[in-house]
């Protein structure tokens, strides 16, 4: 059974000020350091930390002390990491204050907390909200994304599904065919194989080797890259087509245009 | 002078609007005394700001008392309260006061405060808000507003206005079908009225340049 740790954070009240918030964050920062060493980043221990960040955010956001808090928190982070912080968002500053400089993860945490805020989760309700959805990763992937990202993912997933047909088409006229005997370790005869090649600068690629023991993840990642490139190419073609139509229509209109003054001159 | 300024509509009726639904919704304000706050949303350059600028005069049938809220990020309740003090009596200023804002952004706390302001002032003030970021608007504010999506108008609806502009610029002789193709292509390329006028300005410039380069020719398009 998962052990649930709760961190008490003062809830919203009128007397809550920037110092209170920073004190809470300092306490969370210490706990975060312990968590990173002792628990080796286990999610069970991470949730109370995020919940603490969320509760602090709820307490300070929209209060008179918010501006002061932003100012002081930014200053403290800058001193700690010895780097200029341009962030103005309270949420980002809180997460950065507690989690220091763990780049990619910090962004995921911020997205998660933003998702909770957008769903109007009250202070103290963060852990239950996460539990209701599933894992923290689910929230990062599903909840904390913009409409544009969702749209992009949808397009990409659709394109990846089309890839099998695309590969079957390419297989009829492959770019190059050569015999490799025996196949490098971990590769089967009838499966997709990743190759490593080197370009010679004149448009020729020298295939060096098939990548041994390529995992499904590596194949999926390659497929994703191919799908992205195909989408980009399709967008480019559509843009070219539209631009071509604009040029053609302008030229045609230009051909038939007459200027009044010229008409009167000729007459 | 840029065509955006030179040919900027002076009256609400001059604005090119294709959507019948949008026209009907806006007409309820002009002819039926609707006072629900308006939230215009849509892409760049489709006429949201122009509508919010000219609609008040159309509603009152003359000069309207308009207060513009500058593009602002309202972060806290205090920010909203400072911008809309409760003790300000809008009903003493004019029969109908219009509060117009382009790009108004709220944090969720400030949104709650603004909802309160909308409820409080609604009877004396006609809110006309516009935004490019509809998805980021607070649900409570959207719910209080008559949210109207403004999209780029169709080439057919632009045709009379473009013909008028060309005539004023002394350009003639373009068959309607050719002009429609030109407008359709431009609008497919960039769904923005601003960009359409920009393209038209370049087109007229090309016509005049070609004409002066080859002044003995009657047809602009006839080249050596």
CA-to-CA dists, residue A98 to A32, A46, A65, A110, angstroms: 7, 11, 19, 12
Q: How many angstroms separate the CA atoms of A261 and A112, rounded?
A: 66
At residue A36, the pLDDT reads: 73
SS3 category, B175? coil
Q: Is the pLDDT of residue A37 over 80?
A: no
Quote the Cα angle for B43-B45-B48, to 5°.
80
Q: Min CA distance, A66 vs chain B (Å)? A: 8
The pLDDT value given to residue A104: 65
- Verify whether the Cβ–Cβ distance A242 to B75 is below 8 Å: no
* Preceding peptide of A182 cis, ω within 30°: yes
From the CA of A235, how many Å to the nearest CA of chain B? 13
A87, A96 Cβ separation under 8 angstroms: yes
For residue range A48-86, what is the model confidence (pLDDT) as tens digits? 888 999 999 988 887 778 888 888 888 888 888 888 887
| Per-residue pLDDT, A207 | 87
Say yes or no to pLDDT of A3 above 80.
no
Residues of A in contact with B178 (CB under 8 A): 249, 252-253, 256
Q: What is the ipTM, given to two decimal places?
A: 0.74
Mutate to test the interface with A, among B178, B204, B222 (most CBs of A within 10 A): B178
R_g over Cα of chain A: 28
Residue A257, CA distances (Å) to A69, A254, B18, B170, B197 in order: 64, 5, 26, 10, 17
Report how far residue B1's alpha carbon sits from residue B31's, in angstroms, rounded to the nearest whole number.
35
A225 Cβ contact list (under 8 Å, min separation 6): none
- Asked whether the predicted pLDDT for residue A225 surpasses 50, the reply is yes
Chain B hits for A249, CB-CB cut-off 8 Å, are 178, 181-182, 184-186
Instruction: Measure CA B203 to chain center.
Output: 23
Mean of pLDDT values over A196-222: 88
B223 near A CB under 8 A: no
pLDDT per residue as tens, chain B (224 positions): 799 999 999 999 999 998 999 999 999 999 988 889 999 999 899 999 899 989 999 998 888 888 887 766 777 788 888 877 766 666 666 666 777 777 667 777 788 888 888 888 887 888 898 888 887 788 888 999 999 999 999 999 999 999 999 999 999 889 999 999 999 999 999 889 999 999 999 999 998 888 777 654 445 444 44
What's the pLDDT score for residue A264?
47
Residue A108 reports pLDDT greater than 90: no
Q: What are phi and psi of B38, to 5 degrees?
A: -105, 135
Distance from C-alpha of B193 to C-alpha of B198, rounded to nearest angstrom: 8
Element at B73 (helix H, strand E)? strand B72-74
Per-residue CA distances from A169 to A162, A166, A173, A192, A222 (Å): 11, 5, 8, 14, 18
The share of chain A scoring above pLDDT 90, in percent, equals 20
For the residues A41-45, what does the mean pLDDT come to? 69
Comparing A262 with A40, the larger pLDDT belongs to: A40
pLDDT at residue A2, rounded to an integer: 46
Residue-wise DSSP of B81-145: HHHS-TT--GGGT-SSEEEEEESEEE-HHHHHHHHHHHHHHTTTEEEEEEES-GGGS-HHHHHHS
| Sequence-ordered strand ranges (E) for chain A | 195-199, 205-210, 258-259
């Amino acid at each position: 059974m998962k052990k649930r740790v709760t961190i008490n954070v003062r809830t919203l009240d009128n007397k809550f000020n920037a110092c209170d918030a920073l004190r809470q964050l300092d306490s969370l920062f210490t706990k975060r350091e312990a968590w990173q060493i002792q628990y080796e980043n286990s999610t069970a221990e991470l949730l109370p930390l995020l919940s603490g960040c969320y509760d602090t955010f709820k307490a300070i956001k929209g209060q008179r002390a918010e501006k002061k808090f932003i100012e002081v928190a930014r200053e403290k982070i800058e001193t700690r990491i010895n780097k200029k912080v341009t962030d103005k968002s309270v949420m980002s500053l809180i997460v950065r204050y507690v989690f220091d400089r763990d780049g990619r993860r910090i962004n995921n945490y911020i997205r998660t907390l933003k998702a909770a805020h957008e769903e109007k989760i009250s202070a103290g309700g963060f852990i239950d909200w996460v539990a209701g959805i599933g894992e923290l990763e689910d929230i990062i992937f599903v909840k904390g994304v913009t409409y544009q990202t969702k749209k992009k993912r949808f397009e990409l997933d659709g394109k990846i599904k089309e890839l099998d047909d695309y590969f079957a088409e390419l297989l009829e006229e492959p770019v190059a065919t050569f015999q490799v005997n025996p196949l490098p370790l971990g590769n089967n005869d009838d499966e997709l194989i990743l190759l490593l090649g080197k370009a010679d600068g004149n448009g020729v690629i020298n295939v060096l080797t098939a990548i041994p023991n390529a995992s499904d993840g590596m194949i999926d990642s390659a497929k994703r890259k191919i799908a992205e490139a195909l989408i980009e190419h399709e967008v480019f073609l559509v843009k070219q087509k539209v631009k071509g139509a604009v040029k053609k229509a302008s030229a045609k209109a230009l051909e038939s245009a007459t200027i009044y003054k010229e008409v009167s001159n000729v007459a | 002078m840029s065509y955006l300024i030179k040919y900027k509509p002076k009256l609400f009726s001059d604005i090119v609007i294709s959507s019948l639904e949008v026209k009907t919704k806006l007409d309820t304000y002009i002819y039926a005394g609707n006072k629900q706050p308006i939230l215009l949303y849509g892409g760049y350059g489709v006429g949201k700001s122009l509508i919010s600028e000219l609609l008040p005069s159309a509603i009152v049938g003359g000069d309207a008392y308009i207060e513009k809220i500058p593009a602002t990020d309202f972060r806290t309740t205090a920010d909203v309260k400072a911008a809309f003090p409760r003790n300000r009596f809008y009903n003493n200023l004019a029969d109908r006061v219009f509060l117009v804002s382009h790009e108004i952004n709220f944090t969720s706390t400030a949104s709650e405060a603004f909802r309160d302001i909308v409820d409080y002032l609604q009877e004396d003030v006609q809110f006309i808000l516009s935004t490019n970021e509809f998805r980021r608007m607070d649900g409570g504010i959207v719910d209080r507003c008559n949210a109207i999506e403004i999209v780029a108008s169709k080439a057919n609806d632009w045709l009379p206005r473009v013909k008028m502009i060309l005539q004023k610029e002394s350009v003639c002789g373009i068959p309607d079908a050719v002009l429609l193709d030109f407008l359709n292509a431009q609008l497919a390329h960039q769904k923005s009225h601003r960009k359409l006028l920009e393209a038209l300005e370049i087109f007229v410039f090309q016509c005049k340049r070609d004409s002066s380069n080859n002044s003995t020719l009657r047809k602009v398009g006839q080249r050596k």
